């Protein structure tokens, strides 16, 4: 009798705690407008039951507002959330934005082939290409190697059967950029008319220093 009574009491105490994880997490999130809220505390409130209604909204907030430690923790739980495509897509984009290559590659390794897998691989190529251009610690040789790696990733993705039309356009645009519009690449052909009304091509000045000012009204 005492054992049964103890179990009932434990159920009354533990039940609300487990069932109110999302509610408590959302309360903390609302308080973040007033004070700093640790994203890990918010995440801890919902990881006990990832099937609870609204848990996806809480995890999305953590993805957007957490730091590297929280994003790493999210990577351990996000695949266990039901109907998680949008969450994973958000996670992939945030990892790409912060240049977190390791976690992004880990996600790619877990994804089945399809739109999500394609976009994750594109985000990886974008990350590699941007790092090659923006990382001031790289040597010219390392920068060129980074660009070449990005080209390889894009070309492989571009040849994939069933490529989503949006991803296909992104691949095409980025591939053009990393092969024509970055330092060390041959500039694309430009044709125009000079001040005297004469037609000219950029290739006419190959081997010379050329300054091209671009301007316009928006």
Give the model confidence (pLDDT) of 82-107 as tens digits. Answer: 999 999 999 999 999 999 999 999 99
Quote the CA–CA distance of 21 and 44 in Å, as a whole number. Answer: 9
Name which of 13, 18, 66, 19 is nearest 42 in CA terms.
66
φ, ψ at 30 (rounded to 5°): -65, -30
Quote the CA–CA distance of 148 and 40 in Å, as a whole number. Answer: 38
- Would you give the end-to-end CA distance of the chain in angstroms? 80
Confidence of residue 217 (pLDDT cuts 50, 70, 90): confident
Give the model confidence (pLDDT) of 41-78 as tens digits. Answer: 999 999 999 999 999 999 999 999 999 999 999 999 99
Length of the chain measured in residues: 218
- Chain centroid to CA 169: how far? 17
SS3 for 144-188 is: HHHHHHHHHHHHHHHCCCCCCHHHHHHHHHHHHHHHHCCCCCCCC
Give the model confidence (pLDDT) of 170-198 as tens digits. Answer: 999 999 999 988 877 777 888 888 888 89
Confidence of residue 214 (pLDDT cuts 50, 70, 90): confident
- Token digits of residue 179: 């092969």
The answer to whether 55 and 61 have CB atoms below 8 angstroms apart is no
φ, ψ at 200 (rounded to 5°): -145, 160
């Amino acid at each position: 009798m005492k054992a049964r009574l103890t179990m009932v009491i434990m159920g009354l105490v533990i039940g609300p705690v487990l069932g109110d994880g999302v509610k408590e997490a959302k309360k903390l999130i609302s308080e973040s407008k007033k004070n700093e809220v640790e994203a890990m505390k918010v995440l801890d409130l919902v990881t006990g039951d990832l099937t609870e209604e609204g848990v996806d909204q809480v995890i999305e907030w953590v993805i957007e507002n957490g730091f590297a430690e929280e994003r790493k923790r999210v990577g351990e739980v996000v695949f266990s959330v039901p109907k998680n495509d949008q969450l994973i897509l958000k996670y992939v984009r945030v990892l790409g934005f912060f240049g977190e290559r390791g976690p992004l590659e880990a996600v790619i390794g877990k994804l089945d082939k399809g739109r999500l897998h394609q976009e994750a691989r594109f985000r990886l190529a974008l990350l590699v290409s941007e790092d090659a251009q923006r990382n001031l610690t790289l040597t010219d040789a390392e920068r060129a190697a980074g660009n070449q790696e990005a080209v390889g990733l894009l070309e492989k993705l571009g040849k994939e059967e069933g490529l989503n039309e949006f991803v296909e356009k992104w691949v095409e645009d980025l591939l053009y950029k990393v092969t024509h519009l970055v330092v060390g690449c041959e500039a694309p052909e430009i044709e125009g008319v000079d001040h005297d009304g004469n037609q000219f091509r950029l290739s006419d000045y190959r081997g010379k220093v050329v300054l091209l000012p671009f301007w316009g009204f928006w």
